[in-house]
C-alpha cells in the first residue's frame, strides 16, 4: 500500500494520541475525534484505494446489468456505521465535558477529585 | 467382563440428581433428610458393587470429531474406592440425621454432601483425564462448603479457605500434569488424547514417550504436588488439621474414605504408568516423611479430632509410601491400608463426635473412664483404635506389616541409604502406637469428677460407628475374606504384575515380623514417659515457626492481602492519562512484537500509487491535525478539526465512496455546531506548561503513530489485488438478494440490518444521555 496513505494514518494516530494525553478536557475530546478519523481512513485503506473510475463506485448501473469490479462495499458500510457512531460518541463526550465542568468547575482532568 | 455403562453412569449421576432434589426433600421431611441421603448412598453402593470383578472402559461418544467422549473406567481399584465412599457415605448420612438435627441450613449441608459423594464416585470411575480434573476440583469446591459449614465462625471460614486454596492449587498442578500426559499420548497412542484407560493399556509406550520428550520427571513432580495437596502430604499437610473445624460427620467422611483419599487413589491409579526409580524415591520419601511428621504431631495433639486429623495425615503417608515402593508388597500395603483405614478412621471420628456430643468436650487431658457411660462406643473405639495402632490381630496390623515388608525389600535390594526406609517406618509406627494408646486412655480407668454428667447417646448415633467397628473386627479375624472380596482386584489394578495375596498372622519370625514386635514393645515402653516426649516434640515444633508450613501460608496470604490494595493504588491512581498511556503503550508494544515475530518490521515499499489528488487532500488533513494540536484557543482548534473532517470527506469522494462523503459532510457540520455551542459555556484555554510531560507524550505519540504506519504498510492489500470473496458476494448479490443498486446501502439496511438497528440504539442512547446530562441537571439528583 502507498507510503503516503500509511504516513497519513500514522500521523493522524500520533497527533490524536498526543491530544488524548492533554490536561484540557476539550483537547481530549478532539483527540478522540482525530483518532476516529484516522481509524476510518485506515479502514478504507484496507479495502484498497485505487484511482476512482466510473465502475469502482459501489453503486450499480441498474437492475440486471453486469456487476463491475467495485471497491470493497463492506468496508464502506463499516466506515459509514463508524462515522455515525463516532458522531454519537463525540456529542456525548462534549455533553459530558460540559457537565463535568459544571460539577468540578475546572477543565483540567488532573485536578478532578 | 466388560462393565455396564448404564449402571456406572447412574452411580455417578445419582448423587448429583439427588443433590438437586435435596431442598425439596428437606421441605418435606426436615432433619430426616439424612436418611434420604443414606438411601442414595446405598443405591450407589449397590450399583458400584454390581461392577465388582469387571474390568474395562465403557463410554458414549460426545464430540467424536475431537475425540471427546463420556468414558468410565472400571477395575478393582475404582470399585474398591467407590464402594468405600458410598458405604461410609451411607453411615455418615445416618449419623448426620441425629448428630446435625439441631443445626440450621441442613438443606445446603445435605445437598453439598451428596454432590461431594458424587464427585468422589466421579473421580473413581472417570476414564477421561479432563473428567478426572473436573471431579477432582468439584471435591475441593464441595469440601470448601462443608468445612465452612459454620459460616459465622472465623475458625471455620479460615479452615475452609485454606482447604480450598491448598487443594484447588494442587488441582492446577494436576491440570499441568494432564497436559503433559496428553502431549505424550500424541506420540504413544497416535493421537492427542485424554483417555486414561488407553494410556494405562499402553503404559510402556507412554513411559518411553514421556522420557523421550523429557517430560517424565516434570509429570511425576506435578502429579506428586497435586496428590500431595489433596492427600495432605508434607509439606502440604497443614490444611487437614485445620479442616477439623467442619462438623464431625464431615470430618469422618473427608478423612476416611473420600477427599484425602483422592490423592492416594490417583497415585495408585498412575502407579503402573509412571512407576520407576524416580517414582520410588519421590513417593516413598514423601510418604514416610508424612507418616513420621503426622504421627509426631498427633502425639502432642490436645484435642481428639486434632489427634485423629494428624493421624490421618500419618496414615495417608503410609499409603503413599506403600505405593511408592516398587515391589508388589507396596501395592498391597497401599490398597489394603486404604481399605482398613477407611473403616477404622471413620469409626474413630464418629466416636469422637459422640464424645463431644455427650460429654461436651473434646480435650484429651481431662477425660478418662468413659467406658462406664459409653460402653458400646468404648468397645468400638477399642477395636478400631487398636487397629489404628497396628496391634495384632487387628486389621491395621496386616497392612502395616505389608508396608514393613515392602520397605525391607526395597532396602534389601538397594542397600545403603535405603535402609532408612524401614528404620523410619518403624519409628513412625512407634509414635502411632503411642498416640493410639493415648486416645484409648480416655475410655479406661476412673471417671474424673470434673466431667459433670454423660448423656446416653441415641441408637442412631451409635449404630454407624458400631457397624464400622464390627466390619473392622471381621477384617481383623478373617483378613483373607476382605482381600479375596475386594482388595485383591484393587491391588492387581495398581501393580504391574498380578498378585497372589495372602495375609494372616505370622507363623515364623521374619524381618518384618521383628520390626512389628519392636514397634509394639517400644510403643508400650514409651507410654509411661509420654509427658516428657510430648514436651520434647512440642519444644521442637515451637522453636521453629519458620519450618511450619502453616506459618508460610499465613504469611503468604496476609502478604497478598496487603499487597493487593497497594498495587491497586499504584496502578489505579485515578488519573485518566495514566490509563491511556498504559493501554496505548501496551497495545503498540504487543502489535510491534507481533509483527517482529511474524513478518518482520521492515515493510516492502511499493511506489506511490495514490493519485496526487488524494495525496494532497490527505496532507492538508494532516496539516489540519497539526493545527488542532498547536491551536492557541478552543475556537481555532475546533475550526482546524473541521478542516480535517472535510478533507477526509473529500478523500472519501476520491476513494470511490460517495455515501461516506455525504455522511461525513453532514456529521462534520453537526459536530462543528455542537462544539461551538458547548465551547460558549466553557472557560478559556489551559496551557500545558510542563515541557517534560509534553516530551514524554510526544514519544508515546510517535510510537503509536509508527505502529499505525507499520500496520497499514503490512496489513493492507496489494495494489491491484482481486476483491475479496465477501466483497464480491455483496456486490453481485445486492440486486438479486437485496433489490437495490447502491451496494453499501443494501448492506446497511438489508444484509446487516440488525447491525444498523444496534447502531440506531447507540445513537439514541447517546442522545438520551446528552439530554439527561444537560437538561436534567437541576431535577434534584445532584448534591
pLDDT digit string, tens, across residues B125-156: 998 888 899 999 999 999 999 999 988 888 89
**Short-list B224, B196, B203, B178, CA closest to B321:** B224
B235 upstream amide cis, omega within 30 of 0: yes
pLDDT at residue B58 greater than cutoff 90: no
- Mark yes or no for CB contact B744/A76 under 8 Å: yes
**Alpha-carbon distance B653 to nearest alpha carbon in chain A (angstroms):** 9
For residue A59 the three cell numbers come to: 453503486
Q: Which residues from A are below 8 Å from B713, CB to CB?
A: 1, 3, 6
B607: pLDDT strictly greater than 70: no
Domain ranges of chain B: 576-721
Whether the CB-CB separation of A107 and A24 falls below 8 Å is answered with yes
* Chain B residue with the nearest C-alpha to that of A23: B688
pLDDT for B598? 84
Give A26 to chain B, closest Cα distance, Å. Answer: 8
Looking at chain A from residue 8 to 37, which residues have their Cβ under 8 Å from any Cβ of chain B? 8-24, 26-28, 30, 33-34, 37
Using pLDDT thresholds of 50, 70 and 90, give the confidence band for residue A110: confident
- pLDDT over 70 (residue B496): no
**C-alpha cell recorded at residue B773:** 446530562
Which of B686, B696, B761 to probe the A interface (max A CBs under 10 A)?
Answer: B686
Residue B25 neighbours by CB under 8 Å, 6+ apart: B33, B36, B110
Give the best residue of B744, B760, B767, B775 to mutate against chain A (max A CB count within 10 A): B744
Q: What is the ipTM score, two decimals? A: 0.94
Q: What is the pLDDT of residues B550-560, one digit of tens each?
A: 888 888 889 99
| Contact criterion met (CB < 8 Å) for A84 and B773 | no
A61 lies within 8 A of chain B by CB: yes
Nearest CA to B473 out of B389, B395, B386 is that of: B395
**What pLDDT does residue B664 have?**
94
* Contact map slice: B 431-490 vs A, CB within 8 A: none
Task: Give the pLDDT score at B780.
Answer: 58
Residue B546's pLDDT is 66
Architecture, CATH, for domain B576-721? Up-down Bundle (1.20)
pLDDT in tens, A50-71: 777 777 788 887 777 777 777 8
CA distance B745 to A73: 9
Name which CATH class applies to A3-49+71-108.
mainly alpha
pLDDT of B442 reads 86
Rounded to 10 degrees, the C-alpha dihedral B375/B378/B383/B387 comes to: 180
pLDDT tens-digit map of B329-349: 888 888 899 999 999 999 999
The answer to which of B33-37, B40-44, B67-71, B205-209 has the lowest mean pLDDT is: B67-71
pLDDT of B651 = 92
* Contact status of B663 with chain A (Cβ, < 8 Å): yes
For the segment B506-537, what is each residue's pLDDT rounded down to a tens digit?
Answer: 777 888 888 888 898 988 888 888 888 888 88
| Alpha carbon distance B422, B512 (integer Å) | 9
| Residue B393 near residue B520 (C-beta atoms within 8 A) | no
* CB proximity A55 to B under 8 Å: no
The answer, yes or no, to whether residue B497 has pLDDT greater than 70, is no
pLDDT in tens, B554-606: 888 899 989 999 988 887 887 778 888 889 999 999 999 998 888 777 776 66
Max mean pLDDT range (B361-370, B406-415, B660-669): B660-669
Amino acid at each position: 500500500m502507498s507510503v503516503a496513505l500509511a504516513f497519513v494514518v500514522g500521523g493522524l494516530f500520533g497527533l490524536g494520541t498526543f491530544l488524548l494525553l492533554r490536561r484540557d478536557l476539550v483537547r481530549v475530546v478532539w483527540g478522540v475525534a482525530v483518532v476516529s478519523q484516522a481509524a476510518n481512513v485506515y479502514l478504507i485503506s484496507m479495502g484498497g484505494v485505487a484511482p476512482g473510475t466510473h465502475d469502482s463506485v459501489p453503486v450499480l448501473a441498474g437492475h440486471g446489468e453486469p456487476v463491475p469490479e467495485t471497491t470493497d462495499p463492506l468496508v464502506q458500510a463499516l466506515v459509514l456505521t463508524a462515522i455515525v457512531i463516532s458522531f454519537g460518541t463525540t456529542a456525548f463526550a462534549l455533553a459530558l465535558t460540559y457537565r463535568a465542568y459544571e460539577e468540578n468547575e475546572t477543565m483540567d482532568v488532573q485536578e478532578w477529585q | 467382563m466388560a462393565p455396564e455403562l448404564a449402571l456406572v453412569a447412574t452411580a455417578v449421576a445419582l448423587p448429583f440428581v439427588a443433590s438437586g432434589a435435596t431442598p425439596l426433600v428437606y421441605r418435606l421431611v426436615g432433619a430426616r433428610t439424612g436418611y434420604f441421603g443414606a438411601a442414595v448412598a446405598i443405591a450407589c453402593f449397590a450399583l458400584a458393587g454390581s461392577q465388582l470383578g469387571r474390568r474395562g472402559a465403557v463410554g458414549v461418544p460426545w464430540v467424536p470429531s475431537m475425540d471427546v467422549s463420556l468414558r468410565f473406567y472400571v477395575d478393582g481399584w475404582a470399585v474398591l474406592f467407590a464402594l468405600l465412599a458410598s458405604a461410609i457415605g451411607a453411615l455418615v448420612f445416618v449419623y448426620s440425621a441425629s448428630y446435625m438435627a439441631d443445626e440450621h441450613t441442613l438443606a445446603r449441608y445435605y445437598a453439598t454432601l451428596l454432590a461431594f459423594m458424587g464427585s468422589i464416585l466421579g473421580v473413581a470411575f472417570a476414564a477421561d483425564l479432563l473428567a478426572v480434573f473436573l471431579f477432582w476440583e468439584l471435591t475441593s469446591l464441595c469440601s470448601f462448603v462443608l468445612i465452612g459449614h459454620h459460616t459465622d465462625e472465623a475458625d471455620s471460614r479460615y479452615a475452609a479457605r485454606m482447604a480450598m486454596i491448598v487443594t484447588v492449587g494442587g488441582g492446577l498442578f494436576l491440570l499441568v500434569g494432564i497436559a503433559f500426559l496428553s502431549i505424550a499420548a500424541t506420540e504413544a497412542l497416535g493421537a492427542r488424547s485424554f483417555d486414561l484407560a488407553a494410556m494405562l493399556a499402553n503404559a510402556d509406550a507412554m513411559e518411553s514417550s514421556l522420557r523421550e520428550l523429557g517430560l517424565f520427571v516434570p509429570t511425576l513432580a506435578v502429579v506428586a504436588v497435586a496428590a500431595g495437596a489433596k492427600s495432605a502430604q508434607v509439606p502440604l499437610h497443614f490444611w487437614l488439621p485445620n479442616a477439623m473445624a467442619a462438623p464431625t460427620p464431615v470430618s469422618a467422611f473427608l478423612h476416611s474414605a473420600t477427599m484425602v483419599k483422592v490423592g492416594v487413589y490417583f497415585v495408585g491409579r498412575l502407579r503402573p504408568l509412571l512407576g520407576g526409580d524416580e517414582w520410588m524415591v519421590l513417593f516413598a520419601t514423601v510418604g514416610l516423611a508424612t507418616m513420621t511428621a503426622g504421627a509426631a504431631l498427633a502425639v502432642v495433639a490436645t484435642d481428639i479430632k486434632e489427634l485423629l486429623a494428624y493421624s490421618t495425615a500419618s496414615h495417608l503417608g503410609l499409603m503413599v509410601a506403600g505405593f511408592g515402593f516398587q515391589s508388589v508388597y507396596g501395592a498391597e500395603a497401599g490398597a489394603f491400608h486404604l481399605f482398613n483405614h477407611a473403616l477404622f478412621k471413620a469409626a474413630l471420628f464418629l466416636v469422637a463426635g459422640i464424645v463431644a456430643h455427650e460429654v461436651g468436650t473434646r480435650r484429651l487431658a481431662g477425660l478418662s473412664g468413659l467406658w462406664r457411660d459409653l460402653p458400646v462406643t468404648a468397645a468400638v473405639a477399642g477395636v478400631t483404635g487398636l487397629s489404628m495402632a497396628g496391634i495384632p490381630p487387628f486389621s491395621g496390623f496386616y497392612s502395616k506389616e505389608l508396608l514393613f515388608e515392602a520397605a525391607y525389600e526395597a532396602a534389601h535390594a538397594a542397600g545403603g541409604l535405603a535402609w532408612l526406609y524401614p528404620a523410619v517406618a518403624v519409628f513412625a509406627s512407634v509414635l502411632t502406637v503411642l498416640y493410639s494408646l493415648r486416645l484409648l486412655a480416655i475410655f479406661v480407668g476412673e471417671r474424673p469428677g470434673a466431667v459433670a454428667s454423660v448423656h446416653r447417646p441415641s441408637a442412631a448415633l451409635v449404630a454407624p460407628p458400631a457397624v464400622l467397628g464390627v466390619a473392622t473386627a471381621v477384617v481383623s479375624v478373617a483378613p483373607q475374606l476382605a482381600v479375596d472380596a475386594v482388595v485383591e482386584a484393587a491391588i492387581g489394578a495398581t501393580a504391574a504384575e498380578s498378585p497372589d495375596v495372602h495375609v494372616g498372622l505370622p507363623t515364623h519370625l521374619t524381618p518384618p515380623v521383628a520390626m512389628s514386635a519392636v514397634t509394639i514393645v517400644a510403643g508400650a515402653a514409651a507410654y509411661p514417659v509420654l509427658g516428657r516426649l510430648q514436651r520434647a516434640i512440642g519444644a521442637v515444633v515451637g522453636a521453629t515457626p519458620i519450618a511450619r508450613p502453616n506459618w508460610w501460608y499465613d504469611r503468604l496470604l496476609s502478604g497478598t492481602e496487603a499487597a493487593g490494595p497497594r498495587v491497586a493504588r499504584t496502578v489505579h491512581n485515578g488519573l485518566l492519562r495514566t490509563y491511556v498511556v498504559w493501554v496505548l503503550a501496551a497495545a503498540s508494544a504487543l502489535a510491534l512484537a507481533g509483527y517482529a515475530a511474524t513478518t518482520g518490521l521492515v515493510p516492502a515499499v511499493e511506489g506511490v500509487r495514490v493519485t496526487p489528488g488524494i495525496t494532497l487532500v490527505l496532507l492538508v488533513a494532516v496539516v489540519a491535525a497539526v493545527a488542532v494540536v498547536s491551536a492557541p484557543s478552543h475556537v481555532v482548534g475546533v475550526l482546524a478539526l473541521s478542516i480535517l473532517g472535510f478533507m477526509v470527506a473529500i478523500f472519501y469522494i476520491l476513494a470511490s465512496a460517495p455515501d461516506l462523503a455525504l455522511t461525513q459532510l453532514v456529521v462534520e457540520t453537526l459536530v462543528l455546531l455542537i462544539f461551538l455551542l458547548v465551547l460558549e459555556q466553557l472557560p478559556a484555554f489551559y496551557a500545558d506548561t510542563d515541557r517534560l510531560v509534553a516530551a514524554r507524550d510526544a514519544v508515546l505519540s510517535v510510537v503509536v503513530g509508527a505502529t499505525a504506519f507499520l500496520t497499514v504498510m503490512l496489513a493492507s492489500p496489494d495494489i491491484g489485488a482481486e476483491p475479496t470473496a465477501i466483497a464480491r458476494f455483496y456486490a453481485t448479490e445486492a440486486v438479486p438478494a437485496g433489490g437495490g443498486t447502491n451496494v453499501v446501502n443494501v448492506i446497511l439496511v438489508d444484509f446487516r440490518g440488525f447491525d444498523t438497528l444496534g447502531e440506531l440504539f447507540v445513537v439514541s442512547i447517546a442522545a438520551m444521555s446528552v439530554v439527561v446530562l444537560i437538561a436534567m441537571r437541576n431535577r434534584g439528583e445532584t448534591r
